[in-house]
Structures are given as structure tokens and as C-alpha cells.
A and B are shown apart, each in its own frame.
Chain A
């Protein structure tokens, strides 16, 4: 097969989204679920195609490298699973979305994630502040709509408003930061900025000011403390599939942008230490906040929101340890990538199971999971795997991620973060195992068996298998990171 230019994949995703919007507008049938099914098929095909892209089809705006490919696959897979979740979530959606016929307007709910996906894929390749900003907005604006999609539910509207206002604010910070950097270097391209910083020394104070503004903007996207206050309410109010999307895909894209954006500045002596210090503080705050506030939560959706903050903290631990040498146990970049891949698998799985259970139990509190092991051993086992992986029990992908993250942190000598990590991991065991205890220790409130439709069952099974498979054979994910990538080179950058 001839290699295709990488951009074609994004164009195909965008085209799919536009077609879905058109179909939504002109279709007369009430049921739009076929749109989602079609999109799932097309996106799955695109995952396959994305392995055959031409590695030399990049330009100064848009790179085609291993991390880009890696995060594109993450974006595609999470979109697919989100669409599967949306199909399960249909009934709830119909209740809260007004329409002449039941299901009207549902097509938009299926097509907007596809646009978001295109934005995430652009973000993965973007190496110019202009493209980074445009793709970031494509993602965020689609998500504004999706978060507030359930127009008849006040929680969803509240979440939408919160997300909109704080999101706009953070975008403002981000653009302002770009302006400062541009003013100092006269460039928006990351490689050109690196060259400009290398060529002649720049005043440190304004440079640091610009970088900190960028960190504020990105900190909002990845939900890192102290920019995490929006997370619990927005995550709980948004339609559950969108919550999953927010916590997985949006976060993954935020992290790759963070790594790419920081890369030129980390090469500057004197600035590097200050950035790393800021990152260490952010990581410590995020770990402590996310894990400790998750402890008393009784609602699983909200618990997962806090857990998503906690996991952002673990990933930040790796980001804050980028100075470590590349020799053994992988680099900070590969630790971040592996963690994100694992995080995607386990978080999507837990949200998917939660949607199925909530459909039958009329609620997503932890007590609605009581006795799930009796009502559906299959779902209980899937949830058990997800929770063990989130807590970090060996032989799961979540453990492997934590292992890599803390290996880089120890190598970089970040023992403060390691110490905090020891406490927070123990806290994590408590709140994740509470779900396990509810499922296995307690007796069910109602005895009805839970039935799972075939497609959903397949996806749940596949995600569960992936948790153990990649937990025992991490090689298959890490192999994508063998080659020297821009992220990895941070460590050995000169100066």
C-alpha cells in the first residue's frame, strides 16, 4: 500500500463529521443511531489507515512523528468508545433533549465528538502556536456544546456555563502567553523559537512570564491543580460519554501540547530549572488535591472526576522529571505516553460499565454498584479490572504506567514527588477499592440481572483484555516510542 499523506486522515475525519451533520439535517427518520454506528466503522477503518501514513509528509506547521501517530490513535480509539457509550446513553439523552420526535438532534451528539477528534488529531501534530491554538479551539468549542447538550437538565447547563467561562478565560491566558513569546522571539513556530532562543539570549523575566501564562492555559486543559476547580462540577453535570471524552482525549491532547510547547524552553539554561520547579509544584498539588478529595466521594461519576485530576498529577510527575537521562527504563516522554494510553483504556472501561449499570440501577452512586458481582459477573469483573488498574495493582496497565512514571521520577531525583506519590497511591487504593467492595462484599439492592448488548459487550471485553495484556506485555505500546522523538530528546538537548 502506498503511504498516504498524514493530513488525509484528519481530512477524512472532518469530512465524516460534516457528512454526519448533513445527514442529521436532511434525514427524516427518528432514530439516528445508525449515524453513530456508521461513524464507529469509519473511524475504526481510519485507525488502520493511520498506520500507513507517509512519515515525510509533514511541514513546519505539522509534524508526522511517533508521538503524533501515537496520540492520533488514542484520539481515534477514545472517540470510537465514546460513540459506543453514546449509543448506550441514548435513553437518558432522549429524556433531557427536547425535540419534535424522540431522538431528534441526536445526530449532533454523535457528530460533534467526531469534530473534536479531528481537533485532537491536529493537536497531536501541531508544532506551530497558530495551529496549536486553532486545533485547541476546535476541540474546546465542540466540547462546550457537548457538555451542555442535555438542555432540560440544569446540571448539564450549569456544567456548560462553567466550562465555557473558565475555558474562555484559560484560552485568554494561553493566547496572551503566545503573544509574549512571539514578542520576544518574533516566531510562532516551535522549532524557530528554539533556534531564536539558541541564537541570542533573551531576557528571562518576560520569557518566564510568557511560559507561565502558557502553563496556566494548558493546566486548565489537563486539569492540573491549581487550575482544576472546574473539573468536578463539569464532569458530573456533563452527559457521561462526554465526561469520559473530556477526561481522556482532551487530557491526552493537553499533555502532548504541553510536552511540545515546553521543549524549546527546557533547552535554555536557567529557565529550565524554573519551569521544572513550577511543574513539580503543580504535580504535588494535583496529586494531593485529586487523591484526598476523592476519598469521601459517594458518587462514582464525581469520584472518577477527582481520579482524573489525580492521574493528571501522576503524569505531571513524569513531565516534571524530563531531565533524566534516556539510557534505561525509557524516558519521561514514553512514560507520559504509556500512562496516557493505559489511562485511556481503564477510564473508558469504567465509564462504559458505569453507563450500562446506571441504565439499570437508575443512578451512578457507588451504592448502585452493590452486589453487581451477583447481578452481572461479567460487568463486575470488567469494573474490577478497571478499578485495580486505576489503583495500580500489578499485571494491569495502570501499574505499568505508575512504575514507569515513578522510575523516571526516581532517576531524576524527585524524591519529594515520590514521597507524596507513596501517600496518594495508598489513598487511591481506598477509594477505588470501595467500588470493588460494593460490588463483591455487599448484597444487591435489586436482583434483576443486567443484560448487555452485543456490541457493548465486545467493547467491554476488549478493553478488559487490553488492561491485562498491556499490563503484562507493555512492549507493544512502548515499541512506538523506540525511535528518538522530539519529546525524548528534551533530556539530551544541548545548552
Chain B
């Protein structure tokens, strides 16, 4: 089942490059991927818990290095997110004028890489699968990007290559922190070993900071965030959806899956540093978001800012905080994908996307205005959407963090983070007013509603958000037991 989720997109990408019909193949692959992810979630035995659907294939037997996949509740949530955003991104892709095949193949490579990373239960493959997405992103932004695409493509590629390499160093350092006899790449086995206290606290500090910086760069943790806004602004909409919605969650997933359970002492040691950085994400980047005059850059900055909340949940190191972080990963992935999808439609009308170049679009484009409004509310974190329930969970978790941590620091961070909610309502609502309210210009009044023929992919994303908002229990049922297993005892 999991192999299907990983290899259907990859095989479809190769088939497209070799000559299959680009759009239909890609759509078919996206549907199968989503169906397989939902199927896996359906057949996952929650009573049993733990990792299921395991399968593995030896690569280097004498190093204990295997290609092995498996999924617990957390990975399933991420896989469903991957499936949803992929389908929406492929569906919403407009007609590609040049090199259509390469475009769809790149999208599917990103999906395959992300799915592989989320489904791997082997350190080595978790890392390598993520890297599959690096070059497709470089090509997507470089060939089909807009605006400052060249700068953006170089910046994201070199930044992420740097981050991945630091991450690799951290993983190897972690590997060598394990006593000689029990060294393995198997994450399940490693978790069991770490729970038994096999990794001495003194040798957890160095690998953890490597992992935090490495994963942090991939997630655009302040002050390593400067690659993100420009790249998302320049990337074609489907690429921005996949990257901001799915791929960026890999770094957070890695922290949850590897850094926290295997190096809990390291996490406690560096908790205060992480708090300072994540407040930087929320306040500094938040204020930078308010200053943006273009919709694409504003969304890019806002996606960086929201990472701060997720880091806050992770930093708290307790069940509530980590579950909130996991839910917020899911919710943010969907809402930012929906926003980028609609921003891509607006780009067709005004390529530069200056906020003040629009106005009054609610009249000619009622469907878009409605859907954009819902996504805006979700992004701010209003009740009813998954973002609200998960952000609330994060705040509760962070207010009463792991007893080993210094709680007053977290109170301060939570207070700052609450101001972040105000900041995000300021920029989102201002942007909404500038685009949709007022009187449409002469030219704009005649525009057709671009969302009407393409409404289903956006409805898909928003519906998932509403389900997560009204029935967070459905998602928590998957996440909470898995997260409990991750936490240090």
C-alpha cells in the first residue's frame, strides 16, 4: 500500500517523460495516490497502534541499511496531506505552454519524494527521499517561474542543499552516538533503543543542534527563512502549493520523528534557543508580512510565519503540544495550498500581483471571493477550521510544557505567539479587502470568475479543513497515540 503511494507518482513521472499523456497520467497518478493514502488510513488498525504496513528490502546488509516503509498515525496524516495537495495541485495546473511533460513530471517527483520521506522508517531513506524534490523544484522555478525566478531558484536550491547537508551530518553524528553493537538505521528499532536510554545524554547535544539547524533550514526557521518567500512568490502555483503545503512539512516531521524521540535530552538542552527563534518567526516575519505589497510575497512570508506556531508545539515536548503541532502541519498545508492555488488564478489577471492593482473583485468573481474568504479565515485561525483547533492545542500545550523545561519562558513565548494571531488577521484581512472589496475597475468588472470551472480542487482542500475543524477528534485519534510513542518517558 505504502509502496504504491511512493512509486505511483515516480513511475507516472517517468512514463510522462517517456511519452505518456502528461495531464491525464498525472491526474490518474494523483487520484491513485490519494486513494491509497486514504485507504491506508482506513485500514490502519488504531487499536493495535504503532507502525503498520511494514515492508522492507535490504540494501547494505552489513550496515543494517534497508529500504523499509511503514506508517503510524502521524505518517498517515502526512500522507493524506500529500495526496490531497498533490491532487489539487495537478488538477489546478493551467495549460502549460512549454515543456508540459517536464512540468508534470517535476510535480510528481516532488510528490513521490515527499511521500517516500513520510513513509520511510529508515533514517537513510527518510533523508534521501526528501532530496528527490530538490532538483524538480530548481527546474520548476527556473523554467516556469515568474518575476525574480532566477534568483529565487538559486537561493532555494543552494539554501536547501546546505540545510540537507547539515542534516546529513547530524544524522551521521546521531548514528555514531549510538553504542557500537546496536547501530542501525531502522527508526522503529532506534526508538525502542532510545526509550531504553541507550543514547547517553551528553552525546545528544551536538547531533540535536545539527538536526535542529538542518531541519530548521528546510522549514524556514528564523533566521534561515530568507529563501522561502521569494521562492514561493516566483514558483508556479502548483509548485508553491506542493512545496509550501507538503514538502516544507518534512523538516517538522523529521523533528517529530527523529530528533524528539531519539535525542530528548538534546531537545531539552536547546529548548530555549528554539523558543527565541520561533518567536522570531512569529513576530519578526509576521511584521515583515504586514509590510508586503504583493500577494504572492505576502503569502510566502505568512507561510514562514506560521511555522513558528508549529515549532512552539514541538518545543513544548508534551503530548498536547506535539499533537497540536502535527494537526497544525496538516491544517497549514491545506490552507496555504488553497491560498497559493487562488493566488495563481489572480496572477493570470495581474502578473505582478500588487495588492492595490486589484479591487472590487467580489462582484465579477463571487466564487473566488467566497473561497478565498474561507481560506483567509482558515489561515488566520478562526473557529470552524482545523487551523483553529490545532493552534489552540498548541497554545495549551505550550502553556504547560514538559516539566523538565523552564515554564516561564514558554509563557512569554505563548503571549508573543498570541500577538501573532492579531498580526496575521491584520495582513490577511487587509489583503482581502484590497482585492475583493470596493468597486471593480472597468477592466476588472468584465473578468470571468476563474475559480468556477476549477472549483473542485479548492473545495477538496477547504472541505478537509472544515472536517478537521469540526471533528478534530477524527484526526487526533490517529495522531495522539503516535505522538505519545514519540515522547520521552
Residues in A neighbouring B132, C-beta threshold 8 A: 394-395
User: Do A410 and B173 have beta carbons less than 8 Å apart?
Assistant: yes
Q: Does A277 contact B (CB under 8 A)?
A: no
Nearest B-chain residue to A403, judged by Cβ = B168
Q: Does B404 contact A (CB under 8 A)?
A: no
User: Do B169 and A441 have beta carbons less than 8 Å apart?
Assistant: no
Q: How far is the CB of B209 from chain A (nearest CB, A)?
A: 12
Residues in A neighbouring B143, C-beta threshold 8 A: 440-441
Residues in A neighbouring B161, C-beta threshold 8 A: 391, 425-426, 429
Residues in A neighbouring B162, C-beta threshold 8 A: 422, 425-426, 429
**Beta-carbon contacts under 8 Å, B124-144 to A:** 127-129, 131-132, 134-135, 138-139, 142-143
Q: Once the chains are docked, how many angstroms separate the CA of A429 from the CA of B134? A: 11
Q: Does B224 contact A (CB under 8 A)?
A: no
Q: How far is the CB of A39 from chain B (nearest CB, A)?
A: 36
User: Do B59 and A410 have beta carbons less than 8 Å apart?
Assistant: no
**Beta-carbon contacts under 8 Å, B4-46 to A:** none
Q: Does B422 contact A (CB under 8 A)?
A: no
**Beta-carbon contacts under 8 Å, A442-479 to B:** 472-475, 478
User: Do B172 and A406 have beta carbons less than 8 Å apart?
Assistant: yes
Residues in A neighbouring B396, C-beta threshold 8 A: none
Residues in A neighbouring B62, C-beta threshold 8 A: 482
User: Do A473 and B138 have beta carbons less than 8 Å apart?
Assistant: no
**Beta-carbon contacts under 8 Å, A48-86 to B:** none
With known contacts A410-B176, A422-B162, A429-B161, A328–B183 Cβ distance under 8 A: yes
Residues in A neighbouring B61, C-beta threshold 8 A: 475
Q: Does B166 contact A (CB under 8 A)?
A: yes
Q: Once the chains are docked, how many angstroms separate the CA of A422 from the CA of B169? A: 9
B contacts with A, residue count (CB < 8 A):
34
Q: Does B165 contact A (CB under 8 A)?
A: yes
Q: How far is the CB of B242 from chain A (nearest CB, A)?
A: 19
User: Do B59 and A433 have beta carbons less than 8 Å apart?
Assistant: no
User: Do A440 and B165 have beta carbons less than 8 Å apart?
Assistant: no
User: Do B63 and A329 have beta carbons less than 8 Å apart?
Assistant: yes
User: Do B172 and A441 have beta carbons less than 8 Å apart?
Assistant: no
User: Do B135 and A436 have beta carbons less than 8 Å apart?
Assistant: yes
Q: Does B175 contact A (CB under 8 A)?
A: yes
Q: Does A484 contact B (CB under 8 A)?
A: no
User: Do A433 and B169 have beta carbons less than 8 Å apart?
Assistant: no
**Beta-carbon contacts under 8 Å, A381-422 to B:** 384, 388, 391-395, 399, 403, 406-407, 410-411, 418, 421-422
User: Do B169 and A388 have beta carbons less than 8 Å apart?
Assistant: no
User: Do B172 and A429 have beta carbons less than 8 Å apart?
Assistant: no
**Beta-carbon contacts under 8 Å, A317-341 to B:** 327-330
User: Do A393 and B168 have beta carbons less than 8 Å apart?
Assistant: no
Q: Mark B162-181, 1 if CB is under 8 A from A, else 0.
A: 10011011001101100010
User: Do A411 and B176 have beta carbons less than 8 Å apart?
Assistant: yes
User: Do A406 and B128 have beta carbons less than 8 Å apart?
Assistant: no
Residues in A neighbouring B102, C-beta threshold 8 A: 373, 440
Residues in A neighbouring B60, C-beta threshold 8 A: 474-475, 478
Nearest B-chain residue to A329, judged by Cβ = B63
Task: Name the contact of B157 in the complex, choosing from A429, A475, A478 (C-beta under 8 A).
Answer: A429
Apart from A437-B138, A482-B62: 10 A-B pairs, beta carbons within 8 A: A392-B165, A395-B131, A407-B175, A422-B166, A422-B169, A425-B161, A436-B135, A440-B139, A474-B59, A478-B60
A residues with a Cβ closer than 8 A to B are: 327-330, 373, 384, 388, 391-395, 399, 403, 406-407, 410-411, 418, 421-422, 425-426, 429-430, 433, 436-437, 440-441, 472-475, 478, 482
B residues with a Cβ closer than 8 A to A are: 59-63, 102, 127-129, 131-132, 134-135, 138-139, 142-143, 150, 153-154, 157-158, 161-162, 165-166, 168-169, 172-173, 175-176, 180, 183
Pairs across A and B, CB under 8 Å, 22 listed:
A328-B175, A329-B175, A373-B102, A392-B165, A393-B134, A394-B128, A394-B132, A395-B132, A411-B176, A422-B165, A422-B166, A425-B161, A426-B161, A429-B158, A429-B161, A433-B154, A437-B142, A437-B153, A440-B139, A440-B142, A441-B142, A475-B60
